[in-house]
Amino acid sequence: KFVIVVVDSTDRERISVTKEELYKMLAHEDLKKAGLLIFANKQDVKECMTVAEISQFLKLTSIKDHQWHIQACCALTGEG
């Protein structure tokens, strides 16, 4: 099983909601062993949050019981 989350890298106001929902999902019994892939979308937009900023805000390094990866991307160009 995998959880795939797409983060809007320009939406600094709602990143806290993303964090809250992410940890709720990962705590769910059915997802105990699920891998996690986070797409940091809109990396082409000036002044967006970087992958490092998003990772730090979501505290990804504290996730020990799930394999995870964060990937910069741009849905418009297909990059990432």
Which positions make up the binding site for GTP?
41-44
Closest CA to 58 of 10, 1, 27, 17: 17
Q: How far from 16 is each of 32, 56, 75, CA to CA, in Å?
A: 22, 12, 22
Residue list, annotated binding site: 41-44
Residue 60 carries which DSSP code?
A: G
What residue has token string 């795939």? 4
